[in-house]
Amino acid sequence: MKTFPTLLFALLLRVQFTLAQTPVLVADLNPGATDAFDPSNYRGAYVGNNIVFPANDGTSGLELYILKAGKISLLKDINPGQNGSSPIGFTALNGKLYFTAFDSGNGAALWVTDGTTEGTRMVADVSPSTSNVHPTGLTLAKSGFLYFSVDQKLYRSDGTTQGTSEVPGASNVGLAPNREYTGRIVCPYNNGIAFLTKDNQTLKLWKADDKAVLLGEIKSSSFFFDFYGLTQVKAGLAFGANSSFDANFSGLYVFQAQNDTLIKLPINNKVNANIGRTMVFNDTLLVGLERATGYFSTDGTPEGTQILSGSTPSFLVQREPIPHIKSGKYLFFRESEASFSQAFSITDGTKAGTKPMASPQESFTSEIISIGGYVFWAVGTSNNFSPEIWQGRPATRTATKLYKFTGGSPINSIVPLGVQDNKLYFISRMNSAVGAELHSLSLNVVITSTKEPTNQSTYSLKNFGNQLTITSAEGVEKVQVNIYDLLGRKIKAFKTETSSTLEVNLPKNIYLVEAVGELGRFCQKAWIGQ
């Protein structure tokens, strides 16, 4: 029986663990009330466990900084002086980050960094003269080439100066920056890319590897139309188009690779569907919102098109994206927004796999970041609301409010940047005395990798004799474990949790061990038995 002091001590430990931590200012990089972060250019990316991002110390302009072991430092002053280089468009390739930046001697150009000062260098200067026309839309193809556009021309690069060249065949190419928050007009396709261009009243669909080829075009009776959500799907390519002045132009378009045709695919029997938004998910499905029907997914075929949810958000304004991000095999997104609350859901692209996850009672969602199977976001980030920081785990459909700020919020008051050493780093504008600076919040979860889990690498097997242990990089998961002989016959089946030891009691032989859980499927041969 525990004594009172021992019990009290245990309770105090529990309270200390469960209470939310308090955010900590990492550094007042730009001293005083002036912002260190530009509201239009602040996104960072990982190089290993380090985070690279643009910031301003007040003397060098917007330059390249790095967060390493919880400390901010200038990675490289690319454009010496007060004007800054405005690095943007970070895209990972072979353990390095490629981006665009400006310096007075070369203008805007393609750059690369490995996270060191000496490893940060210019790759290719493809901008006209010394102009500030940045390459945009950096897109990594499966072939390992980076594609981008500059001055209405298409380029590709293997990461070297000599391997960067113009891709012929297309004109008026303007690839928009690829972000999780914009309906993309360029995407990886086969070993190259696909992209959309606008030529007066004509929308054109292209593919490109070493040259660009026109796949199809759609003519509108109006000059005013939007196009977005270009995604490789099972049937080929899918995207949405919309025009308030030409109803016959609006709809879900699919390029069928099998017969090289561009068709309209009905949504809920509507051919001229009002595709209000699309979300970046994977290279098999497009997930979007039909304004009158709700959320849908499609693989580009009629039988592979289904309604996921009947929710039809009414508070979306023109061109406002739906906050969303991919986490493992799930898409986490804001499903709806009421006057003073929001609903967040997950989907695996099926109606059965579309489920509610969180309902914070504040409006105005920040951008969302995803790391190691967790998602982080903030609500109440504008219009004098009280911001809250949230943590979610799509695989288990759980969400937790980590911290609530007091006081009213300015626009973009809380913006998550990344996670390092089990701390969430975010830009905060809540303290007007220091401006927009980087803060950290300690987490009560252990995140071991900056990479997202995949279906084939989430689980791993440890075995000794008749003892088996399935482990997961994401902590404790419920899994179904099946054991087969080499003829494919199921010998044993268990329902268990990862990190638990199973006694299987089998004759010594080679078996096939399968583990199936929320994060995917694992299968491996193993010697089992004694």
% pLDDT > 90, the chain: 58
In tens, the pLDDT along 192-242 reads 999 999 889 999 999 999 999 999 999 999 998 888 889 999 999 999 988
pLDDT of residue 319: 57
In tens, the pLDDT along 494-504 reads 888 888 888 88
The residue that leads in pLDDT, 296 or 315, is: 296
pLDDT of residue 474: 57
pLDDT of residue 18: 36
Cα separation of 392 and 389, whole Å? 10
pLDDT at 185 over 60: yes
pTM for the structure as a whole: 0.81
pLDDT of residue 13: 35
pLDDT of residue 5: 40
Cα separation of 166 and 157, whole Å? 9
pLDDT band at 42 (very low <50, low <70, confident <90, very high): very high
Q: What is the mean pLDDT of residues 413-432?
A: 96
- Residue 395 DSSP one-character state: G
In tens, the pLDDT along 286-303 reads 999 998 899 999 999 999
- Residue 13 DSSP one-character state: H
pLDDT of residue 274: 87
pLDDT band at 394 (very low <50, low <70, confident <90, very high): very high
pLDDT of residue 458: 60
Q: What is the mean pLDDT of residues 496-519?
A: 84
- For residue 218, what are the β-bridge partners? 203
pLDDT of residue 267: 93
**Signed CA dihedral, 379, 383, 384, 385: sign only:** negative
pLDDT at 6 over 50: no
pLDDT band at 519 (very low <50, low <70, confident <90, very high): low
Direct distance between the N- and C-terminal alpha carbons of the chain, in angstroms, rounded to an integer: 42
CA atoms within 13 A on the CB side of 67: 28
pLDDT at 413 over 70: yes
The residue that leads in pLDDT, 461 or 382, is: 382
